[in-house]
Structure 1
């Protein structure tokens, strides 16, 4: 099997997520990093690429040079897939340019910094054969896929309430503001409309919509900052409605002292409820009104086919963030191969976040900020029908 050839933009020295992307992309031996632009400083970009073991001729100083030169290489050599791991404000322009050259794209979330950009990107993708994916990583966990299966098969009955929370504490310390990771997230020019909700709140919203297979249709938000000089939010609370019958609450904070990456979700139905926590990812807890609680463990055969196909190890061997991230990459690579072979991708390959989820994410961020700034209680998440 030929490896999918990947280029990367961003993810250079002192970048956290770039190294994670590289590990995840190459975990299954199906994707090969062949080129990149790793820094806005050309010399630093070229030097870092060489440190990664790339050929000198494939270490680029400028993004435009990479697109132009890679497009001229023979098909068996050139980049096929571009991974975008830059600050938010570059996601749209870089994805759009790569698509023009015919390269497939996998991007960090959010897809863009505005809803208008996300819709423009969707129209561009609809007019060509390029594939697009977003790294909403938490949907890659096997037990998240199992949770979705349990909801879709009716085990919980009619869903009544969703509680999803993502708590971090790293921005509570003022000294963190001097770091590369904090500086761009707190800058509206680079981050967009929101810091906390755009960074982690959107992950929580995506997780809730994925598991419940329902779009958030209305919300009421209260965003705030722990430090008065900050322009963007670092925490917030959002009341949610999923249509007429399902209600929920979303909590997100990056100033919750002592928290690491505490993402959790509980879905309550008329027959049963389920709970999943990212810090204990191999467990899915199912609770019933009239029988004992069950702890569903990954790696056991009595799971949905989708959960099984995204489980890598036997029961009792922990699988975590890198493996979930790698599932997104592996499944997207299967999409690319299927397209190249003129075949339809299988169900596992199609279970990858794409531009629809990108639009949903921007709808959420835009609506949360608009709601928090308004005295009106409930705001419609305009365009919720785009979930279909």
Structure 2
């Protein structure tokens, strides 16, 4: 692991999720930009002193040279610190599991994409919400044409934890610092999740965005609210709202997809349920672990219905899929078909293109910006 040391939220989440299915063991790490703190944190986790590193570059060199070196590295640093370790480990021949967004700019995103193509190494982006069983069932419904041609896609991600200034809060501080977070605040932190969720379920990436970003809290340097319109090449239209100043909201990620024949509605705060309606019929509530679900949903289910699954299990599914991807790569085999939607470097490039296009659009009073131009 690179990053995720003392005081970090997401590092602990990754460590718990990675071991949930007994597919991964943490054996090495560079957990902080301070070498002594990094080594001390690794020792506190019970790692071998020889594998508690002072920095990621040292770790990449040493692990690549070991006969029992790491199989993959998980990068869980602030956004601006994704590119350098990802490049270092790919160049050392190590597969990468990286938190989103991929990078803070399109040039670095393209450089990583080119490096993945050149090395052929597995690269997984941890858009964890795509690991939820009912999200995977929603994707299956769309892919099988059950909804008919898609007309409308509505995505939102509402939180309230940044509704006030939080001086001294490490999580708030780096997310509000352009040097660490990149050009987007709520854009890079949560809007990217809503964007990827919409693309994952529909099976298509939006082609253009028109955005307005706001900084409602005085002194804030990055956006804390995003209102965007989306266009799909196939004719679907949509809206995306992401806010970290939405008082009363905790982790309100929601997606509605409306086709010509049917519609679906999923909320992260009630993740075991998918609301589904056919035109002219009574709406249904489909339940995780219940009858009639797709193999994609069943394969991501761990517990019987009625035992809630959620955030950690979604992350765990990404890690389990990453293990299967790595094993297929080692065996010289094509990845199983069920891994076709696993987010990787391509989705990372698309996410960075969305952030970049939304920032440009907002600066141009909501002008429509092509995502393909930003991803080029």
- Within the candidate set 347, 351, 354, 2:341 is matched to 351
| Matches of 1:113 and 1:87, distance apart in 2 | 10
Q: Which moved more, 1:372-381 or 1:83-92?
A: 372-381
List gaps (5 residues or longer) in structure 2: none
Could you say which residue in structure 2 is the equivalent of 1:3? none
Are 2:46 and 1:79 aligned?
no
Cα deviation, 1:348-378, whole Å, max 9, x if unaligned, reads 3443100110011011000100000003632
Measure how far apart 1:39 and its partner are: 1.1
| Matches of 1:171 and 1:157, distance apart in 2 | 39
Are 2:101 and 1:148 aligned?
no
- Residues 73-222 of structure 1 mapped to structure 2, 5 A cutoff: 73-74=66-67, 77-174=68-165, 176-222=166-212
- Within the candidate set 20, 32, 55, 1:27 is matched to 20
| Matches of 2:346 and 2:237, distance apart in 1 | 22
| Matches of 2:289 and 2:375, distance apart in 1 | 36
- Within the candidate set 63, 72, 95, 1:70 is matched to 63
Measure how far apart 1:173 and its partner are: 2.0
- Residues 332-347 of structure 1 mapped to structure 2, 5 A cutoff: 332-347=322-337
Q: Does the 8 Å contact 1:220/1:368 carry over to 2?
A: yes
1:90 to 1:184, Cα distance in 2 relative to 1, 3 A: same
Cα deviation, 1:212-238, whole Å, max 9, x if unaligned, reads 111111111010011231121011100
- Within the candidate set 242, 260, 264, 1:270 is matched to 260
- Within the candidate set 43, 49, 54, 1:56 is matched to 49
Q: Does the 8 Å contact 1:220/1:377 carry over to 2?
A: yes
Corresponding residue SS for 1:266: strand
- Within the candidate set 368, 374, 381, 2:358 is matched to 368
Are 2:3 and 1:16 aligned?
no
Corresponding residue SS for 1:295: strand
Corresponding residue SS for 1:150: helix
Are 2:233 and 1:240 aligned?
no
- Within the candidate set 313, 332, 336, 1:323 is matched to 313
Corresponding residue SS for 2:27: strand
Are 2:29 and 1:39 aligned?
no
| Matches of 1:355 and 1:67, distance apart in 2 | 20
Measure how far apart 1:382 and its partner are: 2.6
Q: TM-score, normalised by structure 2?
A: 0.97
List gaps (5 residues or longer) in structure 1: 1-7
Q: Does the 8 Å contact 2:200/2:341 carry over to 1?
A: no
Corresponding residue SS for 2:281: coil
Measure how far apart 1:384 and its partner are: 8.1
- Within the candidate set 295, 298, 307, 1:308 is matched to 298
1:129 to 1:243, Cα distance in 2 relative to 1, 3 A: closer
| Matches of 2:158 and 2:150, distance apart in 1 | 24
Structure 1 stretches (4+) deviating beyond 3 angstroms?
383-386
Corresponding residue SS for 1:36: coil
Aligned residues: CA RMSD: 1.4
Corresponding residue SS for 2:162: helix
Could you say which residue in structure 2 is the equivalent of 1:291? 281
| Matches of 1:65 and 1:274, distance apart in 2 | 48
Corresponding residue SS for 2:26: strand
| Matches of 2:32 and 2:306, distance apart in 1 | 40
| Matches of 2:203 and 2:175, distance apart in 1 | 29
Measure how far apart 1:65 and its partner are: 1.4
| Matches of 1:120 and 1:69, distance apart in 2 | 24
Measure how far apart 1:288 and its partner are: 2.6
Aligned residues: 376
